[in-house]
Amino acid sequence: MEKTFLIEALVKIVLLIGGLMTAAAYLVLLERWMAAWVQDRLGPNRVGIPLTKVRMFGLGQPLADGLKFILKEEITPHQVDRVVYTAAPIVILATALAAFAAIPFGSVLPQDSGIPGVTEQIQLVVAPQFDVGLIYVFALGSIAVYGVLLGGWASNSKYSFLGGLRSSAQLIAYELPMGLGILGVVLFSGSLRLESIIGQQAVSGVWNVLWQPLGFVVFVVAAFAESARLPFDLPEAEQELVGGYHTEYAGMRLLMYLIAEFLHMVTASFLIVILFFGGWHLWWLTGAGNEVTWLTAIARVLVLMVKTLLVILFFMLARWSWPRFRFDQLMNLSWKVMLPLGLVNLVAVAVLAEFGRPEIAGVNRWICIAAMWGFAIAVWVVAGLAAPLATDNRPRRDLMNPQRALSP
């Protein structure tokens, strides 16, 4: 039995890592296509199948990019701390990959799956029965920031160092609103297991985004900031810091940073789908129980992947549509807007969970949902009206000439 479990776990790990690395490579191509579409220009369309003249819409571009990084000269600046400089990208990539051990990529396979030695249902997650999966994912997300900080510190460069400082301040600031957004979901579902959170939404038939629109907005904004995606990519703002914390990196070490960046976006997309959009659940298609057929199991995997891809496309569209925040605006948004909204949402969800459980059915359920949306809209309106009052309108000073004030 233990041997079968070990083989099952190894197969899941190999499939997961292989799928994630391939997905990261082709998500880069997808993002370049998205950028070309938004900017009304041609994207990568030249590199096709190797050793042939077939271009195939540039589908060979990720392979060419990977070979470029592999064959690129590994330059190590003389001023760096070599041990920490090399360890930093390994830390961030390892934590980005390890986080997926608790993230389900489907539901379960049927009990009669036909796999030799397997007599029970196979759960489509590397670490099944992980009762604190949500805490595990966010603990690894917090550890990943050390890869950024160590890279910025070990590079011994002012641009990298400033990128590391920005990252630490940004991630600490937005972890709090993100935690409040998660607490509302945990309070509603009564579990820290991601599979149980999906199951609660499937059984009730109502996704958490309908119950908690305010918490959804708080979580999505914090997820953008935690994954350092535009308009929150201040740690690696090219116009100011050349490349930020990885300015001094090249070759495979830079590739590890870039892959980890995309994996963080994929992780955030999976969590948004699982926590707020029902995970693998889709009405009249995937069912709600654990008694599944092969058709149902495959449908659940496809539904989860399609939902996640749509969220990733939203991440990419936002990158090429929104301007970057100033750093003071970024911090004000966290401490003065997102944190209070997260607290308000948590209180509202606690009241709803106490007096109107999500298991309620019929007209009362939709009355509760309408009340939560009305409450969320009222809070958004009040926050929008109060935002100008919280803005610092004092004139900023030119650092090169302190006597001259700059326009705000």
Tens digits of residue pLDDT in 232-266: 888 777 777 777 888 888 888 888 988 888 899 99
- Token output for 400: 């090169």
| Residue 270, pLDDT score | 95
Rg (CA), the chain: 23
Helix, strand, coil percentages for the chain (3-state, nearest 5): 65, 5, 30
- How far is the C-alpha of 357 from the C-alpha of 256, rounded, in Å? 45
Structure letter (DSSP) for residue 105:
S
- How far is the C-alpha of 278 from the C-alpha of 308, rounded, in Å? 11
What mean pLDDT comes out for the span 211-232? 89
- How far is the C-alpha of 326 from the C-alpha of 158, rounded, in Å? 19
- How far is the C-alpha of 330 from the C-alpha of 333, rounded, in Å? 5
| Residue 172, pLDDT score | 84
- Domain definitions of the chain by residue range: 1-71, 74-390
- How far is the C-alpha of 350 from the C-alpha of 251, rounded, in Å? 50
Name the band, by pLDDT with cuts 50, 70 and 90, for residue 407.
very low
Residue 19 C-beta-side C-alpha neighbours within 13 Å: 10
| Residue 406, pLDDT score | 47
* pLDDT for residue 52 is more than 70: no
Name the band, by pLDDT with cuts 50, 70 and 90, for residue 268.
very high
Contact yes or no for 220/381 (Cβ under 8 A): no
**Helices H, strands E: what count in the chain?**
14, 4
Residues 352-368 have pLDDT tens digits of 877 755 555 566 777 88
| Residue 272, pLDDT score | 95
How high is the mean pLDDT of the chain? 83
Contact yes or no for 111/119 (Cβ under 8 A): yes
Name the band, by pLDDT with cuts 50, 70 and 90, for residue 387.
low
Residue 88 CA to its chain's centroid (Å): 20
| Residue 323, pLDDT score | 84
Handedness of CA 97, 101, 103, 105 (dihedral sign): positive
| Residue 188, pLDDT score | 85
- How far is the C-alpha of 105 from the C-alpha of 125, rounded, in Å? 6
Contact yes or no for 226/168 (Cβ under 8 A): no
Residues 297-352 have pLDDT tens digits of 899 999 999 999 999 999 999 988 888 888 888 888 898 889 999 999 999 888 88
Q: Which of 309, 327, 270, 267 is nearest to 142 (CA)?
A: 267
Handedness of CA 172, 177, 182, 183 (dihedral sign): positive
Residues 94-128 have pLDDT tens digits of 999 999 999 998 888 887 666 665 667 788 888 88
Regarding pTM above 0.85, the answer is: yes
| Residue 299, pLDDT score | 92
Contact yes or no for 60/48 (Cβ under 8 A): yes
Find where tokens 């590994």 sit: 74
